[in-house]
Structure 1
Amino acid sequence: MVSSLPSGMRRVLPAPCWGWPSSCLHHGMRRKNVDPTAFRDLLANLELSSEEGSLPSPCVGICRVDTKTRFCEACFRTIDEIARWGGASDDDKRVIWQALRQRYEASLL
């Protein structure tokens, strides 16, 4: 049974459960598995020295933050880096990409 809301109110969906393992039991949804090749391929084709054009987002569509490292398991960004990406200058994005490359390489050890 669906109940109607009082006039002027709207239904708000619950926030996602960031950092849950492979499934969100609270919302009953199955999360996508992290594809390690997606970020690796994006990184391999990236040209950081190029001055023209905007740098692409490191996002590969799977947002899940590791509770120990505090990095996204798919793109290796911190929550702060994810939040400020849209307003970041190309120089700031270049610095973030360089950090991501180092984090990715460290994850392979």
Structure 2
Amino acid sequence: MTVSTPCIKVCRIDPESRLCTGCWRSLDEIATWGGLSEADRLAVMASLPARKARFAASSGPSIPPA
């Protein structure tokens, strides 16, 4: 069985937001990912583009490239 994941193997944790700027998951989401149902993983993944956009809007141009 394949587990859905947004991980791109570029792990950089932003110290203020505590989000990985590679996949945009929180540390808690990363830690519990394997125990989530596929439906829950897909729900988190659906929220990541908006999370990335909010982070970009609040951080300006200093975001490290993913």
User: TM-score scaled by structure 2?
Assistant: 0.69
Q: Is the 8 A contact 1:66 1:73 kept in 2?
A: yes
Aligned length: 57
Larger Rg: 1 or 2?
A: 1
Deviation at 1:56, TM superposition (A): 2.2
Identity %: 35
Structure 1 runs not aligned, ≥5 long: 1-52
Cα shift at 1:105: 2.5
Q: Does 1:69 align with 2:17?
A: yes
Match of 1:82 in 2: 30
Q: CA RMSD in A?
A: 2.0
1:102 alignment partner in structure 2:
50
Which structure has more RCO (C-alpha within 8 Å, separation ≥ 6)?
2
What are structure 2's unaligned runs of at least 5 residues?
58-66
1:75 and 1:56 map into 2 onto residues whose CA distance is 12
TM-score, length basis structure 1? 0.45
- Give 1:94 deviation, angstroms: 1.7
